[in-house]
Amino acid sequence: MEELISRITSSVGIDASTTQSAVGIILDFLNKEGPQDAVSQVLDAIPGARDAVEAAAGGGSGGLMGSIGSMMGGGGGLMAAAGRLMSAGLGMGEIQQVTQETIAFAREKAGDEVVSKIIAAIPGLDQFA
């Protein structure tokens, strides 16, 4: 995780604590919404990823955006994840950058085929890939 956190703080320009929270929220979202076999491979390939998911799992609904996401899809989906990321202090541009960096890192560590399977399974995620 340290390598990913450092990479994002450098490229996006947000502090390490916010980055840690954001990556945890993104990985938690993938864990809840993606195919479990592929997500497990990603979480196993990134040291500390499972701890980040556990830390983010108790993160709440994400305010208004999370409520809208819940109304639209039941469990949340992309809107709820975006709401949680906004609650963590990120703007839309930062959300996109952090998500793109996280996905790119996952591709490097777990492989393109595994990450592509996750992206294909989650509606709307391809806009961040």
CA distance 16 to 2: 9
**Number of C-beta neighbours around residue 11 at 10 A:** 12
> Which residue segment(s) compose the domain that 121 sits in?
2-128
Task: Express each pLDDT in 89-126 by its tens digit.
Answer: 999 999 999 999 999 999 999 999 999 999 999 998 99
What angle do the packed helices 2-12 and 92-110 form, to 10 degrees?
140
Q: The pTM is what?
A: 0.86
User: How many separate domains does the chain show?
Assistant: 1
Helical pair 36-45 and 49-57, crossing angle rounded to 10 deg: 120
